[in-house]
Structure 1
Amino acid sequence: MIEVPTLQSALRYLSQVIQWRIESYFATNPHVGEMLPKPPLDWLAQETALSKFIEAYQLDIFAQLTLIIALAPHLQPDFFDRAITAQLPEAGDYPQIGGCRGVSHRGFLPTGDTVLFILGGTQLSDRIRFQKIFSPNHLFVRKQVLSIYAPTNGEPLMSGRLVLSQEYVNLFIYGYVTPPHFNTQFPAQRITTNMQWDDLVLNAQTLEQIYDLETWIIHSPTLLNEWGMKRNLNRGYRALFYGSPGTGKTLTACLLGKYTNKEVYKVDVSMVVSKFIGETEKNLAALFTKAESKDWILFFDEADALFGKRTNVRDAHDKYANQEISYLLQRVENYDGLVILASNLKSNIDDAFVRRFQSIIHFPMPDAKARLRLWQLMFPQQVRLDKAIDFQELADLYELSGADIMNVVQYCCLQALKHGKHVIYKDGLSYAIKREFNKVGKIFT
């Protein structure tokens, strides 16, 4: 892989720096220079994920070394043991160097103290200066690249283990970022679509509002940063999609992501909400922490369960439920990307959220004109339609959503394949429509 030479060069340079620091600190070589050894000229010469990241954010040599220190155990489990024992062969406890041992990983794991030792040695002013690498204002923390795992029992922060985000581990080693796994710690799945804007059948007013939302996604960086509006506006954006099921809310979210090159994650609300006090906030915190600074679109489908109206306080459960709403309101408002809430009814959403939406977009049931367009779009070219089928008649007679029509088309096509035919007959289509009506308890006439 093209990443390997760069990583090998980076490890060699880090090993050289560790040797220099130990020789200097323990005076094993009184003639060692006081200046940090210069990196080899070729260590970032190749265009890799690591070199691109360093160049994009103009990281100085100390930040670069911090990255390599955090990455080293993922590349060579015994890297630090070998580098340290090469200079200090006698077994001993060296608190100056920091480090710890993991539960499964038996090699030396760097801590914040390890970084301070390698970069700053004994100079107190340098050690304090390099602690800023882990401050909330530094790129590493803002972008959630790496952090110090908080130690327990009030121990010094820098004694905590240095943790490189798994996403960046994958990026620097393999050259790409793997999407987060769907689980209780990250209750959201990435959603995509192969459809185009032309496949979205909505009225002109709704489409205009959606395109306005697309405009914000594309131009908000310029508006906030170059035009200086971030002093007056929150970085994020909140939108409410409301309307009957199957009217295009999820598809719209997918298309917004597709045409603005943003990943869209659909949040599983059932995995977020917990009956245990405090667990819902914990689940939300994990979700938003993971999504922060990723520029993702978060899509909360059936959002009523999380964003529903607050109740009058009758007991402790009502009190904590209202606290959850307040906490969620704060997290949504502070999120720096686009949050879309989807609900069947606007009135189901708590007024505190409604006041903070920049866009409230209604997705109505399609009228006859829209239904005609949907019928014309849905059937694949591989099937032939019975001449008795009249799309205009179907559009006028049957009030169906886009999802309903898609279900009808899918059933008809599967039945055609089952019987080895490529023809859709009127009787079969009528039966499929009746079947769809029965699913939702409507009367078919």
Structure 2
Amino acid sequence: MSNIALQEAIAAAGKPYAKVAETINAVGAENGRAMYYDAAAIAHWLSGTVPMAGTIPIIVETFTRLLGHDLTAPDLGWPHIEAVSEEPWGGDPVTWVARLGKDDMLNRRSLLTTGLYSLAALNLPTEPHIITARSGEPRRAGASDVERIRTMCGQFSTADDLFGGGHARAAVLAYLIHEVAPLLHGTTGRARPELFTAASQMTYLAAFMASDAGDAAGLAQRYYIQAIRLAEEAGDPTAKATALRGLATQAVELGHPTRAVDLAEAAASTLSGGCPARARAWMAGMCADAHAANGNTRAALNALRQAEVNLDRADSVPEAQWTGAYRRASLEHQTGTALAQLADLPAAERHLSNSVRARHGGERRSRVLIASRLAGLQVRRRCPDTAAATILELREDLPLLTSGRVKNELTRLRSAWVPARTNPAVGRADRLISSLANR
């Protein structure tokens, strides 16, 4: 029996079958699912074939984007699929964090279909955050509680920088679930805002690690959203801006630059004049990334200048602030990526090279990620031997990393230098990457 509902949805989208299939595959890739549908698959569905249950939520999200309004599986002529589809901006953020962490640890496979990355979730609420009344025995949070969380967050962040987001994630989640979340129920006292800021920072780290590990993008998105909401409850604009920036970075990397601009600008506007200049520089740099990805040269260059001005004004030690170790090496990276988006490849290569050279030993993942992007840029500039040399300098670092973002950069690099594999240096670099992929 023909699927009339699906036929009407495709007609309303105004896209050919091949384009619809391409979009479905892209949404699947965002969420960690390799999918290879084509026009023939669409034709089969129209004739009455029902896709696999695990695929239906991805198709529903695709048509939600194409049509601009929420849909369900029955709207496309298919059976209802049970899914965790609650609005991530609603409900209690503490409950959200605990549930996300438990699902992440124990049932990560289900998140591929029940925690999809959603463009609708990037629409920021217009109403002020309402503090949820929580059950739990009243207790006073003390400075010692806050110090423990911040110290552990710093330790986990150091491990993340050294070994990538795929390493020690279970330990981070266990700490978030069993140590942090319980403290937030029924808490009173002077230290309560700082406790919620610390919880926001730990949740942000869980989001960042999920994103770097290459897990379902929707999982990281939901962590980021709850980090924003916890920061709002703490009344901490810097923590809120940091989590908004995480959403913006994710949107750029997943190919949604217009949304990224909105999120980056929201992050920057969240900061008041009293916020650290280093934090304002960090947010301005993100605005530059987003505007460049969106093709707005003037706005990107203006944001880079603003980042540089604020960084020059910063009078704190970078490592002393949660807002990242944002320093000259960080600005060089963002300048390089922005200029690469704007097709100024020689200048982009210079800035990325500067950033790689300035990274200290504890920034292994950042150094390797930026060097991988630099190598890709060098191939674009028709210098595959230089790109190979860049990669071969990482031979000691690469085996120590567990990072989906690094893996994706290296996969793209290998595809880009295929015509040059007869070059001895390129061949050695290619074998190095291949040996790591097969481990």
Using structure 1 for the length normalisation, give the TM-score. Answer: 0.26
Structure 1 or 2: more helix by fraction:
2
Structure 1 or 2: more strand by fraction:
1
Using structure 2 for the length normalisation, give the TM-score. Answer: 0.26
Rg larger in structure: 1
